[in-house]
Each structure stands twice: as C-alpha cells, then as structure tokens.
Amino acid sequence: MNTSSFIALGLLGSLLGCSSPPPIQTASQLNLERFMGDWYVIANIPTFIETEAFNAVESYRLNDDG
C-alpha cells in the first residue's frame, strides 16, 4: 500500500470515531426513600485516603427539604 492509502484509512477511522452515542433514558419515577439508610460497601476502587479502610458503610438520609 502506498502512503495515500494509509492516510485515507486513518482519516476514515477518525471519522468513524466521531459518532455520538444514543441519548441515555432516565427513569420516569424514583422512590428515594427506598435507597435511604445504611449500605455496606462490598467492592470499590480505593482512593489514597481509603487504602487501609475495611467494613465500609455508606449512610444516606433525606434532607429536610426532601
């Protein structure tokens, strides 16, 4: 193959990578109270602060304004 073929293939590849993904569908209803309370972390990718952490629990509460 000659140089112009490689350039053409590169341009074609870059154009194919420019497509946008389809829009994300959102939930029409969400019961936030269902997710309130303590959640036990079973897996995560720790940050430098969390390197020695174990038995992690995330607690979620609704604000006064909902």
Question: What's the full length of the chain, in residues?
Answer: 66
Cα-to-chain-centroid distance, residue 39:
19
Q: Are 39 and 60 contacting, i.e. CB atoms less than 8 angstroms apart?
A: yes
This model's pTM is above 0.75: no
The answer on pLDDT for 43 being more than 80 is yes
User: Which of 18-22, 29-33, 54-58, 59-63 has the weakest average pLDDT?
Assistant: 18-22
On the question of pLDDT at 15 being above 80, the answer is no
Phi, psi of 51 (to 5 degrees): -60, -35
3-state secondary structure at position 52: coil
26, pLDDT greater than 90: yes
What single letter denotes the amino acid at residue 63? Answer: N
Q: Show the DSSP H helices in the chain as ranges.
A: 3-16
The pLDDT assigned to 1 comes to 61
Average pLDDT over residues 35-47: 91
